[in-house]
Chains A and B, each alone.
Chain A
Amino acid sequence: MDILECHVEELPEADVLHVRGEVDLGTAPLFQDALEGLVGNGRQVIVDMSELRYLDGSGLRLLFWARERSVAHGRQVLLAGPSPVLRRLLQIVGLDELVPIVETVAEAIERLRGKNGPI
């Protein structure tokens, strides 16, 4: 099995980037490529972290970068399903104050619908 697998699912509300495995120095370029393909294309981005076991500083930098770039395009990045330790890591670096963190992709989509859907 690859150390990191990324695949994109296009849903009506958002592009979902499913990441599985570990983001470290060696696999960060793959994660970067996947994010670069999504942010700035005009769609909302949900990063499904439910099968992500490990994320290091190089991966955190990319999440900050993706958030900034999305915001610049009037979109947002949502993080779905991080493990308890990754959730704690996101708190340590303050990313939890900048991006919504939810339990599941379905919950992320509900958030987007609530924000952008008809009232």
Chain B
Amino acid sequence: MWKLSVHLTTALPELRAVRHLVAFACRNEGGTDIESGLIEISFGEALANARLHAHASGTGQIMVDIAYDRPAMTVSVYNDGSPLLDRSAIPDARPEEESRGWGLYVIGRAMDEVEIQRSPHSDRGTLIRMTKNFALV
């Protein structure tokens, strides 16, 4: 069992670097290409949400946790920008185009568990935590 915590900003090169790090960690722990790719995509959507909505006025600070407890890979994105969501529901159906629910819809379908709550690190931020269990056959 291990956990990495990374502080970064929502600048695109930093988001790409940490997304690639997650993809690498997934494969390193035996995740299949599909499992690892779906985690990378879901994590990328959470990062994109943080950049687009929580820090819409510019680049902001975020923190991510990447944790592995065999067979569960859990990634968390904390932002201290304005709240990501007024509600914590994951859409059940694909939202209309241009909706900001798109990323969350993909996350909800691609990951095994998803949790959205107020960030424990900030009065006004948001935490998205999501887990996928590797089949490890």
CB distance from A35 to the nearest CB of B (A): 14
A96 to B98, CA, bound (A): 19
Contact call A57/B12, Cβ cutoff below 8 A: no
B45's partner among A22, A56, A64, A85 (CB-CB below 8 A) is A56
What residues of chain B lie closer than 8 Å to A26, measured between beta carbons? 12, 16
How large, as a class, is the contact surface on chain B? Answer: 20 to 34
A19 shortest CB reach to chain B, Å: 16
Q: Which residue of A54, A55, A64 has the most chain B CB atoms within 10 A of its CB atom?
A: A54
Assess whether A85 is in contact with B37, with CB atoms less than 8 Å apart.
yes
Interface: A7 (CB within 8 A) = no
Q: Which of A37-45, A87-95, A102-110, A111-119 contacts B (4 or more CB under 8 A)?
A: A87-95
Give how many A residues have a beta carbon under 8 Å from the other chain's beta carbons: 23
B41→A56 contact, CB < 8 A = yes
Considering the complex, give the chain A residue whose CB is closest to the CB of B35. A85
Q: A3: CB under 8 A from chain B?
A: yes
Residue of B nearest to A60 (CB): B102
Name the interface residues of B23-52: CB closer than 8 Å to any CB of A.
Answer: 33-34, 36-38, 40-41, 44-45, 48, 51-52
- Give chain B's interface residues, CB within 8 Å of chain A: 12, 15-16, 33-34, 36-38, 40-41, 44-45, 48, 51-52, 94, 97-98, 102-103, 105-106, 109-110
A residues in contact (CB < 8 Å) with B? 3, 22, 24-26, 54-58, 60-61, 64-65, 83-86, 88-89, 92-94
